[in-house]
Structure 1
Amino acid sequence: MPLARESLLEAAGAALAARPWPVVRMVEVAAAAGVSRQTLYNEFGGKDGLGRALVRRETDRYLAGVDRVLGAEEGARERMAELADWTVRTARAHPLLRALLTGCWDARLPLLVPGPRPEELTRAVRDRAAAALAPGEWSPYRCELVVRLALSYVVAPAGDSPMGDLLGLGLSASNRTAGDR
């Protein structure tokens, strides 16, 4: 029942956005998806299975977005800057993705379930970036630097500083120097 499964994941994601995972009730998720509670249990086996499926879906969505950004027609520098900016914006908007990328789980989220570790996601993005760019454009090491810089913004936001200015390898006129702070 792929349609029921997707409806259940959407309903569970909406419930997670509205309240902490420990208080999300399976009966409410099933009702919001328009299916029976038994269908939910048949699909996921229980709340832990539903949590694992949410983690997998969030991982898959993130990696699909990475591929989309890297598939743009722009140059390597622009694509990598957009990848970093998009990662920061997406992680800020999606707490489950933020936890996956940083390893920082809180009580609002499903318990840490088997899934990719942050370093595995970092390697996956690095490898996808290196493969998407023309040979010799950027080394895997430089791709990983950009990914890790983006993750540092996820962990420790820098206020209103635009990510693109920083990744353009030049500072914009609006950025302050350390002496100005």
Structure 2
Amino acid sequence: MSVAGRPRTGARIPYQEAARELLRNTVLDGMRELLTERDWSKVTLGDVATRAGVSRQTLYNEFGSRAGLSQAYALRLADDLVDHVREALDANVGDARAAIRVGMTGFFLSAAGDPLVRSLLSGEMKPDLLRLITLDAAPLLEHATTRLTTVFTHSWVDASVAEADVLAHALVRIALSYIPNPPVPQRDAAAEMAALLSPYVEAIVQVRGVRAPTGDVEH
């Protein structure tokens, strides 16, 4: 959202929805700041409320619990994945392998620098964070898959909803699996994902008759 109450498309959204989105972003931004200063195990809901400038009751009303807060933050990681892939598709029209490689490279770098991910991977074991991207990953998986499905259907890939859902679901599952086990320097995980998934995209494009990288798209 570029300004409060008005998404990037320029369409108005209801005031209450805009206010809630602003509240959530303010709280999650405050949480991120705290995580750059201390480990997640040392961050309390009271700390987050104080940093965000809201009451603890407001925090509880919106997120329900510490687990709800961390899940909301993790959904940002899911959005980050989708945004990296969307931007890479826009920058690599007709080149599926490059688009996936660039998108995943960007996501891996972003995730590696995220303070919640860094907290997960350092210090004492944090079962609550680990569950977010393993046993309790369904909300992240569904959220990112739904958004990414839309990306694949409304880009030069021009996939059907069913095709896009298969591709998005596979990409998101693989990407999430790398968060607790980051790519090692000896392997180019982004290139490997591109080699694995790009033939599926290329087959869709070939059927649709989309011409590569000139930027001209035939429907």
Q: Is TM > 0.5 for Structure 1 vs Structure 2?
A: yes
The CA distance in 1 between the partners of 2:106 and 2:36, in whole Å, is 20
The CA distance in 2 between the partners of 1:95 and 1:46, in whole Å, is 20
- Number of aligned residue pairs: give it: 160
The TM-score with structure 2 as length reference comes to 0.51
**Higher deviation after alignment, 24-33 or 11-20:** 11-20
Q: Which residue of 1 aligns with 2:113?
A: 93
Q: Which residue of 2 aligns with 1:57?
A: 76
The TM-score with structure 1 as length reference comes to 0.60
| Structure 1 contact 15–29 (Cα < 8 Å) conserved | yes
Unpaired runs of 5+ residues, structure 2, are 1-18, 196-219
Q: Which residue of 1 aligns with 2:13?
A: none
- In the TM superposition, residue 9 of structure 1 has moved relative to its aligned partner by 1.0
Q: Deviations over 1:65-100 (max 9, x none)?
A: 322222225441432331232132122222656899
| Structure 1 contact 20–107 (Cα < 8 Å) conserved | no
Q: Deviations over 1:108-139 (max 9, x none)?
A: 97352333489879977986786545469xx9
- In the TM superposition, residue 38 of structure 1 has moved relative to its aligned partner by 1.7
Q: Which residue of 2 aligns with 1:155?
A: 182
Partner AA of 2:137 in structure 1:
G
Aligned positions of 1:22-171 closer than 5 A: 22-76=41-95, 77-94=97-114, 96=116, 106-107=125-126, 110=129, 112-113=131-132, 114-116=136-138, 131=153, 132-134=155-157, 155-158=182-185
Q: 1:5 to 1:148 in 2, by over 3 A?
A: closer
Q: Which residue of 1 aligns with 2:206?
A: none
Partner AA of 1:61 in structure 2:
D
The CA distance in 2 between the partners of 1:99 and 1:148, in whole Å, is 21
Unpaired runs of 5+ residues, structure 1, are 169-181
The CA distance in 2 between the partners of 1:38 and 1:159, in whole Å, is 48
The CA distance in 2 between the partners of 1:8 and 1:129, in whole Å, is 28
Aligned partner of residue 131 in structure 2, secondary structure:
coil
